Structure 1
Amino acid sequence: MDIRLTQFSHGGGCGCKIAPAVLAELLAHAPAGILPPELMVGNDSADDAAVYRLNDSLALIATTDFFTPIVDDPFDFGRIAATNAISDVYAMGGRPIMALSLVGMPLDKLPLEAIGKILEGGAAICREAGIPIAGGHSIDILEPVYGLVVMGLVHPDRVRRNIDARDGDVLILGKPLGVGILSAALKKGLLDDDGYREMIRHTTRLNRVGEELAGIDSVHALTDVTGFGLLGHLLEICRGSSLAAQIEFAKLPLIAWACAFAREGIKTGASSRNWSGYGAQVSLPAAFEPWQQALLTDPQTSGGLLVSCAAAAVPEVLAAFHASGFSEACAIGRLEAGPAGVCVL
């Protein structure tokens, strides 16, 4: 098919999320809804999914995620979107059980074959996760949009929120940063085949290790790094837990191709919007380079899990990541008492 999906979208992947500052303003005006006692996680925190307690031993996780194309290949787009959506269940410590498709396509512009490939890609990832696509909804729309509603299960005691981090916790990141920069390079026609394969390798790897991590008592908080970049999602942990974070740039896992492009000034528009939304809460070294800042604010699509755990649990957490194929996972910093914010060393 002689078609480039990204030509139909103004942004791509999680980079098309509403900017943090705008989202905060929108949510501030949202009316308060019903808050039953069974609702363990809802709108009161900036978490990855909602959690509803069914009984003393079972809770339901519900989430949804969808976006415009981040790559041109329809099958790969479907795979990335599905992986990203399912990740929210893993980020809560749960096991996905079922998905519903969300499909919006410009039927006058995209051939049905291309749309079918997108759906095939999503179905392939759901099979890998061991869940059915049990239904969904579709509309005719101006830009291609695809994603999933995903439901999962978790024991109430194993729910891992992003607001339960503790003073002295170590921060561990499961996937390297730079996917958004690679997507920007792709749209400019600069990403070669090796770089593209690296991008697909990271964005289609399920974060299923999250369920195992939730079984470690000393893992206090979990989230996944997506459209707001590492700094944005780390700040959500800091604000929710009333803690300050220190991270060491030299310890961050980074995609080599992304570093090279960042040095050339290539980044997404979302990266700049992210910094405008939360840069005031971030302290950078005096000699910090613009390309380094771009990696910290880079919107990740289907990004890695960010773990806050006791220092004594670091070997066990890293062992779980590495045994699950996340060889790049590493400790990147720590949390401490102080006003919510991030200090980059």
Structure 2
Amino acid sequence: MKTINLAVFPADGIGPEVIAASQQVLHRLAQLHGGVSFECREFDWSSAYYHKTGRMMPADGLQQLEAGGFDAILMGPVGSPAIPDHITLWGLLLTIRQGFDQYVNLRPMRLLAGVVSPLLNPHRHPISMVCIRENSEGEYAGVGGRVHQGKPGEVAIQSIVFTRRVTERVMRFAFDYARQHGHRLVTNVTKSNSMQHNMVFWDEVFQQVAAHYPAVATDQQLVDSMTARMVSQPETVDVFVASNLFGDILSDLGAALTGSMGLAPSANLNPERHYPSLFQAIHGSAFGLVGKNVANPLASIWSAQLMLAFLGETELATRLMSAIETVVQDQRVRTPDLGGTSSTTEMTEAVCRALETEPTAATGH
């Protein structure tokens, strides 16, 4: 029996509900499979922890996680209306991303059969995109500061940091991912027409890396026009690689185009596995839904599916993706974000039931 050790963060808002759903699905999958089990250790680091201690996580939090021997981290949404967002984000999620060198943020955006897209004619424009977002520096490097605060001459500086090593490795990951998963095109998202130093550097590195992958087609798109392309011609978008900020914004747009933020997973990867990677739905903490049992758990469950794929549990990942697709396509169980009245519990149970059927080939990545 193989044991997968998980650090679990229910975190904030609807996090405890969707994380409990994800754990329920994983344990049911383990029961059905028989060859693997999940050992989960929960951490209470969250906004509630901040209210008690003045910190989002202990000072030695990274050391605790590293010493725990965890294979991966499963996290709920982080954020509270009672705490400024930059405190919650930098106090927990970005600290883990940067401290554990999780330099790839992988976000698939696919319109699943049975889901209604806000686009008028999605059947003519199928949506199946993958965002490879640089996740450790760029616009979110944290370099900068403020002086003369509160005075008329106040200055705030936030510096964008691109290093060759980090830029090159995320681009190599994008090309390797495209090649391994049968994608035909890698698009470089840039803004080098107006950002003449860092984004010109970004473009140069992209071209240098692309030269090592002659079998993979490439193109380049300015970030502002990329938004229009994703809406008007989503079928032309396959894999795209973007900086931290650009990837963050574009993947939220992609999630909306695929029907609901409740269907948007993500993986924060340290591909070399020197540290545990982190898997988390990209939707927010949605405090207005807390305790109502109506949050869609599929984004978190899909994030767990990405975790299984990353850990090399291909059979389990395929089976879980097939179950997600079955439930969504069936349309009998739908949470309010998908136009239905089903509960979080009902959606979770539907996925568990779908796991019991013979799996089919999944098309998600």
Q: From the CA coordinates, give the structure whose radius of gyration is larger.
A: 2
